[in-house]
Amino acid sequence: MLEIKNLHVKLEDEDKVILKGVNLTVEAGKVHAIMGPNGSGKSTLSYVLSGRGGYVVTDGSATMDGHELLGMEPEERAAAGLFLAFQYPVEIPGVGNMTFLRTALNAQRKARGEDEISAGDFLKLVREKAKALKIDADMMKRPVNVGFSGGEKKRNEILQMAILEPKMCILDETDSGLDVDALKLVSDGVNALRDAGRSFLVITHYQRLLDHITPDVVHIMANGRIVKTGGPELALEVEKNGYADLLDAEAV
Amino acid sequence: MAEAKPKDDRTAARLAGLSFANEGWQAPARGDALARLTAMGVPGRRDEYWRYTDPASFNAPEAMAASTAGDGDDRPVFEGIDRLKLVFVDGVFDAAASDPLALDHVEISLLGAAQSDIHWARDLYGVLEARGQVPVKRPFAALGTAFATEGVLLRVTGAVPKPVALIYIHRAETSDAILHHCIRVEPGAEVTILESGPAAARLTKVMEVDVAEGGRFHHIRAQGPDHERRACTHIFARVAGKGLFKSFTLTANGVMTRNEAVIELVGDDAVAHVAGAAVGDGRFHHDDTVFVTHQGQACESRQVFKKVLKNGATGVFQGKILVKPGAQKTDGYQISQSLLLDDDSVFLAKPELEIYADDVKCSHGSTSGAIDETALFYLRSRGVPLKAAQSLLVLAFLAEAIQEIENEEIAEDIQQLLEAWLARHEH
């Protein structure tokens, strides 16, 4: 599904290298988690994959189903099936949540040569998906993320994911700022979307999220590289001993 | 002092081409207005309220030729809205193109035709304009009172069942129109006035609106989409106790537009909202000059002005809230914002507050900025193409002004006009 090879990335405005040769393959239907200390390059990886400006790829590649992602516009990546759940979902005053969702869905369908969804079908779809995430009608009427609590914003991200039905979902610290109940709700939303044709890359600091969304593979990222890869037990090890032990061991 | 002589010359030159028809019931008002105009003179760049807008084309003895063309595929505004149509071609009333002057709860007459004495109009014509000359001089408004021979006189006596639409058509390339409308909203009455279309190559316009106790006045205007229009318009409003005045203007294109609004809240618990959404691309200069005076107690005023500027377009906002002594519990709000879509466009804002009462709430803000890149990326990351995402954010920026239109059908029409304009003017 997603194949990242030797990815090197620096900041556009300064000579700071953030990613220093990331290699990662996420197979269809699998959930991979990336853990790592602050500043290891986790969020940068998610931004570079989704096409945010401000970064320069100096080497390497990232392909999704064999198509090179890095040359595509962000909207082309989305239409191809990539989705980033933001660590900090953006507030957009003046744009209604419903308008936003419908515009996004129809734009993706159009880009794929599909017909636009009818107003009635769209409403039905949103109601069904929103209900599962306990998102009420009022939240849908409000401008995108404006006045939403931290938990509501994250639920709104998962709602977008449920409606847009991407193939490759990247979750960037989706657990940050969530209380226990909200974490459960968001995780249930993600788990409901797991299927053989959909892959996840879950970026997190903590094991906590992985209790709810069980990963197939866990990677540890440090200093711009994947330094260790293992099964779910690797996350538990981090939780118990911290990153320092792991990283020291790597260094030896 | 140094400027006195050229100012006199400019004024004389401006007046030379106009014919002064001093007859009928308006005669005293016209005479007074001409005296006011002569005394103050036409403006120059040194006048405080003309620093950002060059009055040269308004001062010129003749109108510059202006093409009547818009953007090509734009449709007439308010087309689908049931309304009483009053049509002016190059500033002259066109009876054949207009509906009969009959509608429930409103007396309609024409400035040119009303030769007999209309008492209510005599008490209004030039009266609010004259009041609005202090403390800021508005020479072109005095010109409008002195020289207009065309306009409508509306006396609203109840809830008018449908909007009264003033439709302007520009045919002659060098037409120079002067219009003066008077509207009196009697106690408890309510009316919606629509204005649309390019009026002339050059338009000088005055609208005086007198809202009596509990009266409600709604005004929605669409200027444009003619590119070469030069327009200097004024609204003078006086709002009595519990009265409501709401005015919204959409401006699309236009090399030189100055819209002045001078509003006095004279009774208690009165409300005045004045809003504008302006979109300009290239040769575009748009100036909103607003003055709201709070005299009554517990009145609410809102000024909401948004401008989207690209390719060297210029936007100007000069807005003032004056709270007079004794106008306690005033709730004043003013926001002026521009969205600059490139580095060449300019927004000049001069917000002013002058407050002589101690128990008031007045807030104001003015911002100028580019499209929010973070929001743009967020939209694109969900699959919305760049141009569509930009349009969505531009419309979002204008939303606060559009929301000032109460009538949903009219608001939707304005929204569609804006969407079409943005589609034609994509990056």
Helices (H), B234-297: none
Q: Both tokens of residue B132?
A: 């609005």
**Per-residue DSSP letter, B283:** S
Rounded distance, CA B329 to CA B296, Å? 9
The residue segments making up the domain with residue B117 are 4-375
- Whether residue A100 and residue B377 make contact (CB cut-off 8 A), yes or no, is no
Q: Which residues of A touch B393 (CB under 8 A)?
A: 92, 94-95
Contact B274, B300 (CB under 8 A): no
Is B250 contained in some domain? yes
Burial A35-51 (b: 16+ CB within 10 A, else e): bbbeebbbbbbbbbbbb
- Whether residue A92 and residue B378 make contact (CB cut-off 8 A), yes or no, is yes
Q: Is the peptide bond before B225 cis (omega within 30 degrees of 0)?
A: yes
Question: Which chain B residue is nearest to residue A166, measuring alpha carbons?
Answer: B382
**Per-residue DSSP letter, A26:** E
One digit per residue, pLDDT tens: chain B, 427 residues?
455 678 889 999 999 989 898 888 899 999 999 999 999 999 998 999 999 999 999 999 999 999 887 777 677 899 999 999 999 999 999 999 999 999 999 999 999 876 666 789 999 999 999 999 999 999 999 999 999 999 999 999 999 999 999 999 999 999 999 999 999 999 999 999 999 999 999 999 999 999 999 999 999 999 988 899 999 999 999 999 999 999 999 999 999 999 999 999 999 999 999 999 999 999 999 999 999 999 999 999 999 999 999 999 999 999 999 999 999 999 999 999 999 999 999 999 999 999 999 999 999 999 999 999 999 999 999 999 999 999 999 999 999 999 999 999 999 999 999 999 998 988 6
**DSSP assignment string, A142-197:** SEETTT--HHHHHHHHHHHHHHH--SEEEEESTTTT--HHHHHHHHHHHHHH--TT
Residue type at position B410: I
Residues of B in CB contact (< 8 Å) with A are 372-375, 377-386, 388-389, 392-393, 395-400
pLDDT per residue as tens digits for the range A176-213: 888 888 899 889 989 999 999 999 999 998 888 999 99
CATH 3.40.50.300 holds for A2-251:
yes
**DSSP assignment string, B126-150:** THHHHHTTSSS--HHHHHHHHH--B
CB nearest B378 (choices: A73, A90, A164): A90
- Whether residue A95 and residue B378 make contact (CB cut-off 8 A), yes or no, is no
- The partner residues of A220 in beta bridges, in order of sequence, read A35, A228
State the pLDDT at residue B114.
Answer: 63
Is B355 contained in some domain? yes
Three-state SS at B24: coil
- The partner residues of B165 in beta bridges, in order of sequence, read B85, B194
* Alpha-carbon gap: B146 to the closest alpha carbon of chain A (Å): 44
- Whether residue B381 and residue A52 make contact (CB cut-off 8 A), yes or no, is yes
Q: Put the strands of the sheet holding A67-68 in their side by side order.
A: A17-26, A2-11, A55-64, A67-68
CB–CB contacts below 8 A, A to B: 81
- Whether residue A74 and residue B392 make contact (CB cut-off 8 A), yes or no, is no
Rounded distance, CA B257 to CA B283, Å? 11
Q: Which residues of B touch A91 (CB under 8 A)?
A: 375
Is B412 contained in some domain? no
Q: Span A223-235, mean pLDDT?
A: 92
Is B81 contained in some domain? yes
Question: What are the backbone angles phi and psi of residue B30, rounded to the nearest 5°?
Answer: -65, -45
Interface test with B, best of A43, A49, A52, A141 (most B CBs within 10 A): A52
Residue A54 region, left (φ>0) first, then alpha (ψ -120 to 50), else beta? left
- Whether residue A100 and residue B400 make contact (CB cut-off 8 A), yes or no, is no
Q: Which residues of B touch A75 (CB under 8 A)?
A: 380-381, 383-386, 389
Question: What are the backbone angles phi and psi of residue A135, rounded to the nearest 5°?
Answer: -100, 120
Is B416 contained in some domain? no
Rounded distance, CA A6 to CA A22, Å? 5
Three-state SS at A198: coil
Three-state SS at B198: coil
- The partner residues of A20 in beta bridges, in order of sequence, read A8
Rounded distance, CA B293 to CA B322, Å? 5
- Between A246 and B366, name the one with better pLDDT: B366
Rounded distance, CA B126 to CA B26, Å? 9
Q: Both tokens of residue B264?
A: 């006095």
State the pLDDT at residue B102.
Answer: 96
Provide the number of structural domains found in chain B. 1
| Exposed/middle/buried for residue B50 (C-beta within 10 Å: 0-12, 13-18, 19+) | buried
CA distances from A243 to A37, A231, A240, A250 (A): 7, 16, 9, 11
- Whether residue A94 and residue B396 make contact (CB cut-off 8 A), yes or no, is yes
Domain boundaries, chain A: 2-251
Contact A92, A144 (CB under 8 A): yes
What's the CA dihedral at B24, B26, B29, B31 to 10 degrees?
-40
- Whether residue B397 and residue A78 make contact (CB cut-off 8 A), yes or no, is no
Is B348 contained in some domain? yes
Rounded distance, CA B422 to CA B427, Å? 9
Burial B272-310 (b: 16+ CB within 10 A, else e): bbbbbbbbbbeebbbbbbbbbbbbbbbbbbbbbbbbbbb
- Whether residue A94 and residue B388 make contact (CB cut-off 8 A), yes or no, is no
Is B149 contained in some domain? yes
pLDDT per residue as tens digits for the range A123-135: 999 999 998 888 8
For chain B, what percentages of helix, strand and coil (3-state, to nearest 5) are there?
Answer: 20, 40, 40
Is B87 contained in some domain? yes
